[in-house]
Structure 1
Amino acid sequence: MTTSPGNLTDQARQAGEQAHHSTWMDRAARIGLVAYAVIYLLVGWLCVQLAFGDHEGRPSSQGAMRELLQQPFGEVLVWVVVVGMVFLVVWKGLEAAVGHRDERDDGKRTRKRVMSAFKAVLYAAVAISGFGIVTHSSGSGGKGGSSTTTWTATVMGWPGGQLLIGAVGLAIIGYGGFQVWTAWTEKFAEKLDAEGRSGRSGRAYLAFGKAGYTAKGIAIGLVGALFVYAAVTHDAKKSGGLDEALLTVLQQPFGPVLLGLIGAGLACYGLFTLARARHLSQ
């Protein structure tokens, strides 16, 4: 007896749901979150170092993994981070495909699934970056925003490319604003289970989350601002990634103080992510 395409789809959905709610996926997600936390803790540390005048490191996920690579057993550590990122890609990919089924509103469920897919892409980009670093296939030095500048210049050469880059910048700014909104409404608390939100430790986790999401939102917003500026000036070299955005902060009045505060906030985001790995809400 042949199986109809509808039955195959239902079976695939059921298998995906079982995998998403399985014990091994829960453990994999927690490992991935720890790896992600390490990246943010290192980015925060690199920001503080930069604020105090050490310009060797680059405050970005690539810079964090290069810093990790220089430590004892560095290659092993970077591989662990890469594997952790892959776990997060699988977790968010399954969530995008079959997750959020407890959400009764179809529109909200769709938005949450799109956001999960977006996060899976971000985690995949970090994993690919780390893989390139640990296999020595990406450059060991150079300007952190060079690849961003290259593709920005390519897009600007398209018909309407300047408007597209500006729209990308505005979208990034919007996402940064959403992170700040998440911080001040404490929506991030939903990512912790009941134990993680209670007691003295719970108050500390919430403080880390508020500072962390605020700093993350500001940093992301700065990246978006660079894209908008590049579009307005029609100069791809004005765009850049996280490291370029934070270096721009350093060049402003009271730059070292501002960069140090952002770095401390990003480290707080790392600490909150560690708490989330321990108290992961299902």
Structure 2
Amino acid sequence: MSGLEERVDDAERSVRRASDNPIVRAVARSGYVASALLRGMIGVLALLLAAHVDGPAPGASGAFGAIAAVPGGVLLLALVAGGNGALFLWLLIQGALVDDGELLERWRQRLVFWGRGAVYGVIGLAAVRFALGAHAVDADARRAASRELLEVPGGQVAVVLVGAVVLIVGASMVWLGASRRFVKTIRLPDDARRRRAVLVLGAIAYVAQGATVLLVGGTLLVAAWTVDATRIGGLDEALADFPSTPFGQALLIAIGVGWILAGLYALVRARIARTA
């Protein structure tokens, strides 16, 4: 065995020892608790939007703004940032430790782990920014930047590609929930009633979040097709016009309840997630 191979093996053994450490596992599980807080806030904000209550818009930025505005909000944001950062590192490690005999399947699993980790990493960085006093980008400035993007050569194509990727992610989440393939990432309880409850809650969580992501992706495609910069954005922009549309209020309520249940599932998952 060459010196390089020995160093690689030593590094992998060190990573596995860290992965098996109970403290490291506990820190990783804290990421799901932080994720639960964020999902629950998004759900509450969607319900407030359905009730025509003025305030922060749904979405990560709106949720962070709402958290920052309450007493102790900066501390909560710091916990969200730390939890998501821990989960980001944990998923990177788990992806690196995937050991499947088939090369394509091994890299498919790694990309799934690392893709999920990237999402938590971005959320953690956003939470840090808000904890340090940053605010959501001004709507006029965002629209100006979006307009410039659509006007540059290839800008519409870029928005279409991003929208397509978002649609694929949303469809994958819906499929995971509907097929219950998410059970591979958790340890189901032995009790039959608790097991059914976890399966139902997890399915609703994945489908609700996936449907919302599909909505964001569809909004981006519409923005590119109509060259409408006001539609480019995240969840906030996708839901902004819902209250004034037919059945929009009912859909907002369904989305809000779905995200609150997703937050509850994240809390449950903090306990039953596979960490080895």
Normalised TM-score (structure 1): 0.89
* Equivalence map 1:184-263=2 (5 Å): 184-195=178-189, 198-263=191-256
The corresponding residue for 2:73 is: 74
Q: For 2:160, which of 151, 163, 166 is the aligned residue?
A: 166
> For residue 19 of structure 1, what is the amino acid of its counterpart?
A
Residues 58/111 of structure 1: CA separation in 2 closer, same or farther (3 Å cut): same
Identity %: 27
Does the 8 A contact of 2:34 with 2:83 survive in 1? Answer: yes
- Structure 1 pair 151/217, CA: closer, same or farther in 2 (3 Å)? farther
Deviation by residue 1:249-278 (Cα, 9 ceiling, x = unmatched): 333211111100011011111111111101
Q: How many residues are aligned here?
A: 274
- Does structure 1 conserve the Cα–Cα contact (< 8 Å) formed by 2:231 and 2:237? no
Distance 1:150 1:211, change over 3 A: farther
Q: Does 1:42 align with 2:36?
A: no
SS at match of 2:241: helix
In structure 2, the residue matched to 1:106 is 103
Unaligned runs of 5+ in 2: none
Question: Contact 2:231–2:238 (CA<8 Å) still a contact in 1?
Answer: no
Determine whether 1:175 maps to 2:172.
Answer: no
Does the 8 A contact of 1:32 with 1:81 survive in 2? yes
- Distance 1:198-1:157 versus aligned 2 partners, 3 A rule: farther
Residues 58, 275 of structure 1: CA spacing in aligned structure 2 closer, same or farther, 3 A cutoff?
same
User: Over residues 169-224 of structure 1, what are the superposed CA-to-partner deviations in whole Å (9 max), with x where a residue is unaligned?
Assistant: 111111101111111101122222132x6432222222211111111011101111
Alpha-carbon distance in structure 1 between the residues aligned to 2:141 and 2:262: 26
CA contact (8 A) 2:12 2:97 kept: no
The answer to whether the aligner puts 1:124 opposite 2:121 as a matched pair is yes
What is the distance in 1 between the residues matched to 2:23 and 2:170?
32
CA RMSD of aligned residues (A): 2.2
Deviation at 1:151, TM superposition (A): 5.9
Mean CA deviation greater in 232-241 or 172-181: 232-241
Cα distance in 2, alignment partners of residues 206 and 151 from structure 1: 42
Displacement of 1:157: 5.1
Verify the 8 A CA contact 1:92 1:120 in the aligned structure 2. Answer: yes
Give the alignment of 1:55-94 within 5 angstroms.
55-94=54-93
